[in-house]
Structure 1
């Protein structure tokens, strides 16, 4: 058989069967993309499988956005004066908000590999601009690099979101999201360890060294190149034999019409827009108005390590809990919403007490010594900053899972991911601009807490009425017109202990 994966009828299809045994009942195409390697008795998934493709895209983000997060997590992009970082990030998220909103159209037309690789190059230019700024103070270059990165990142994150939400089977989406978020944030952890190691013995205030920027630059270039090792979505075969719903010959017209069609077929997605807006709103506050404003350089680096480590922990806990088989998906969605609301109220409630201890005037006064990890009273703010990272991962994981539970259609999910990143970036552009205009820290805190809690309330009707236990293939294909591809769904009867079940192979 040339392209469609089939199941042998003599096998029993049970949920407990291991992934390793799944391949034995599949008749895969005779290509290197579907060969499995064994090492120390463990069989790895074939190359054109969702786990392998997710692993690759995770490492692209590990090396590109991961290094960006490490740099920004230090506050000020590693500079003592946050002006260049604020200008660059305002430009970045301004262009990101526009490109990101329409990125699904571009990604569906250009393809996953092109979108990811082009996106990675933008991160390299961004890091290079700060290396240049260390010597020339060229504010124009950093601002341009930020604007360029906004264009590139819009495509990268749209492609990433489409892979993460459309490639896995329905019962594994939470785990796939958590695996991605854990690998991606490991990049920021390692990136934060670099300046920590360089500054561990000094409490003086100084920008990060050229070596830090060079290290980040090399890793982002490797990440951009790694994107070309992905396979086309049409070649990906899941372990149950199904394929990805994609357009056969997408045109610019069909993709723009598809973008508009989402608002007709799925108008409820608008109720999730406030959650999208809130999802990056807090980064300017976390990185610049807490980490850079309150702590010295080596402590900022340590905080970056624990912040992203707790993101890994949060992604693991929420990702696997969202796939828990003992509870129906509709109920899991409601529990996830309630858990998010409780975490937001507890963590940001503690943050309110902390924010009362300092303000922008204290931070701007050079006579006030920034806090070090050796100072008395460091423990409370340190733990709070850890849980800000945990909350971030919980929020992002749940938002992606909510979107992924609404459809399995790769084309539609690319548009959802584009909406998510576009609106998210608009929020970031606003907050970096507000910080550049020296808005009070308490006002910024209040906007964060209010937006997070309020957006959850607005999204609640979607969580209650639109998340289903499963989404049928027929419902997903309805969105994609007659030119849809690779959707030659055929019914396959599989004996399961005397019963018959009909499964669609897409």
Structure 2
């Protein structure tokens, strides 16, 4: 009689060598299970990786995020969810990030138990409902529906982002984690770029500050629904085989109890990760100031759309640069971690120092048309636009650099899929806790000056607190035996047959 653990591995017993071009003209032969998921094909003379390979799965999850959170970012980048008054969006986002904080922290538990495919598919549904509620609010006063849609998206987003992060930092090997972030972040933010083109095209000849059209919301709704549908075609982590034949480290037959205990085991494995929590907390804090207090409050609709487009394009450029340098070979990973910390520290004071000079131009009261009827929203044709435009571009660049660094730091601490899911869960939960607080403060009309200062101070202080884990705990390599601690996997389960660490098993 076979046990559950034995039957869980039946797909590993039938393997066939597959010729694989590693990109250098050399051919490796990873041992792959049989079946359509592991067939390699040549298209236009190029070797296309098998369906259950990290590369294909990364591309798929990137396009899911392209159509779900990518479109959400495009909508949020307009300030106030596309509405002239940001109060409704602030209240919805407070509910969103409050729920996100809870389900983000426990997201790793759901990912490990349900698998990345169904977690992502379920997570995608919340984005569509959020956009629907905004469209309805244009025509009727439905605050209850709006708050429910925000809270429901928080639940869904907490699960989607934890599953996405698990794929991004546990599927690649140690030398590719920066590259994988760059590919994902570029495709994901292309969604926000294309999403920004929708309102820009509809308002390009209109120099007014108005709520976006119904057609804009409908376009977002359709794309978000397609993203949730696409997620159902992903593979789960247990099916993934890397180019060297190794597998992602997982817990066999996880239970809800084992996964909840796993949250504590993750912190016990590396308690220093707590020092990254302030960086997690502030990683979405600055969006409210940038999108509402700057872009949404100061510029007219067409200029907001252009700024949003440039902001997300800058993120793609930054992701490519950061992904390349984080994976530079010939330089130790521990040294790259220290350099990354130093560059972030310099950028924090350079970019936000320039932002302080701009922030002093106006206040919440001076841009309020009810309090100041003479106020006219700034347009790209007005003199002096170039400076704020570049500032907003650098804000987008900084955001991608910050997020890339956090993902890479987490990925450098472990290669375990199970542990990575919990790291990402902590990251997204704590990040959302900060976002819920700052959205609530913005809804309460905290002054723009205080919003700005809170960003600058929190960013700088969080880097100082994170320094010990970055300087002392990120090593050049994490041994597989360490990653297997706390699971019932063995080296035989996760390494290819010819791997040096597997000899004698």
State TM-score, norm by structure 1: 0.94
Aligned to 2:7: none
Distance 1:385 1:243 in 2: 41
Q: How does 1:360-439 map to 2 (within 5 A)?
A: 360-364=364-368, 365-439=372-446
CA distance in 2, matches of 1:377, 1:252: 57
Query: C-alpha offsets along residues 230-285 of structure 1, whole Å, 9 cap, x if unaligned?
Result: 11211111001100111110100100111111222211111000000010000100
**After superposition, where does 1:351-366 map in structure 2 within 5 Å?**
351-364=355-368, 365-366=372-373
Q: Is the 8 A contact 1:246 1:411 kept in 2?
A: yes
TM-superposed CA distance for 1:26, in Å, is 2.1
Q: Is the 8 A contact 1:63 1:219 kept in 2?
A: yes
Q: 2:474 aligns with which of 442, 467, 471?
A: 467
1:260 matched to which residue of 2?
264
Residue 38 of structure 1 corresponds to which residue in structure 2? Answer: 42
Query: Relative to structure 1, is the Cα distance of residues 338 and 5 closer, same or farther in structure 2, using a 3 angstrom cutoff?
Result: farther
Contact kept in structure 1, 2:480 and 2:491, CA below 8 Å: no
Equivalent residue in structure 2 for 1:52, among 35, 56, 74: 56
TM superposition shift of 1:137: 2.7
Deviation at 1:30, TM superposition (A): 2.1
**Structure 2 counterpart of 1:244, from 218, 228, 248:** 248
How far apart are residue 19 of structure 1 and its match?
A: 6.8
Q: Is the 8 A contact 1:113 1:230 kept in 2?
A: yes
- Give, in whole Å, the separation in 2 of the partners of 1:485 and 1:34: 23
Aligned to 1:498: none
* Structure 1 counterpart SS, 2:440: helix
After superposition, the C-alpha distances for 1:84-113 in whole angstroms (9 at most, x for unaligned) are 101100110011111111111112111111
Which residues of 2 match residues 190-339 of structure 1 at below 5 A?
190-339=194-343
More deviation, 43-52/32-41: 32-41
CA deviation map 1:53-92 (0-9, x unaligned): 0000001100000010000000010011111101100110
2:23 aligned residue (13, 18, 24)? 18
> For residues 25 and 85 of structure 2, what CA distance do their matches in structure 1 show?
53
Separation (CA, whole Å) in 1 of partners of 2:303 and 2:384: 13
Q: Please give the per-residue CA displacement for 1:421-458, whole angstroms capped at 9, x wherever unaligned.
A: 00000110011111111111111111100111110111
Greater Cα offset, 170-179 or 259-268: 259-268
Provide the rounded CA distance (Å) in 2 between the counterparts of 1:477 and 1:362.
58
Instruction: Work out whether residues 481 and 491 of structure 2, in 8 Å CA contact, stay in contact via their aligned partners in 1.
Output: no
- Structure 1: gaps (5+ residues): 495-500
Q: Give 5+ residue unaligned stretches, structure 2.
A: 1-9
Q: CA separation of 1:306/1:370 partners in 2, compared to 1, >3 Å: closer, same or farther?
A: same
Provide closer, same or farther for how the CA distance between residues 485 and 202 of structure 1 changes in structure 2, counting only shifts above 3 A: farther
**Match for residue 4 of structure 2?**
none
Q: CA deviation at 1:491?
A: 7.5
1:170-189, aligned counterparts within 5 Å?
Answer: 170-189=174-193
Q: How many residues align?
A: 492
Match of 1:488 in 2: 493
The one of 442, 448, 452 equivalent to 1:445 is: 452
Change (3 A) 1:386 1:248: same
| Greater displacement, 155-164 / 96-105 | 96-105
Q: Give the distance between the partners of 1:442 and 1:461, measured in 2 at CA.
A: 31
Counterpart check, 1:476 vs 2:480? no
The secondary structure found in structure 2 opposite 1:38 is strand
Query: Alignment partner of 2:474: what SS?
Result: coil
Q: Following TM superposition, by how much is the alpha carbon of 1:465 offset from its aligned partner in structure 2, in angstroms? A: 1.0
2:106 aligned counterpart, secondary structure: helix
CA 463–207 in structure 1, closer or farther in 2 if over 3 Å, else same: same
Separation in structure 1 between the aligned mates of residue 491 and residue 87 of structure 2, nearest angstrom: 50
Following superposition, the deviation at residue 366 of structure 1 comes to: 3.7
Q: How big is the shift at 1:17? A: 5.1
Residue aligned with 1:171, SS: coil
Within 2, Cα distance between the matches of 1:77 and 1:504? Answer: 57
Aligned to 1:497: none
How far residue 367 of structure 1 moved from its aligned partner, in angstroms, is: 2.0
Q: Does the CA-based 8 Å contact 1:310-1:387 persist in structure 2? A: yes
- Is 1:142 the counterpart of 2:146 in the alignment? yes
Q: Assess if the C-alpha contact under 8 Å between 2:246 and 2:495 holds in 1.
A: no
Which stretch has the larger CA shift, 80-89 or 26-35? Answer: 26-35
Q: What is the CA deviation profile of residues 384-408 of structure 1, one whole-angstrom value per residue up to 9, with x for unaligned ones?
A: 0000000000000000000000000
Q: Is the 8 A contact 1:490 1:505 kept in 2?
A: no
C-alpha spacing 1:431/1:4, structure 2 compared with 1 (3 Å): farther
RMSD value, Cα: 2.1
| 1:93-108 equivalent positions in 2, closer than 5 A | 93-108=97-112
Shift in Å at residue 487 of structure 1? 5.5
| Secondary structure of 1:190's aligned partner | helix
Aligned with residue 94 of structure 2, among 90, 96, 111: 90
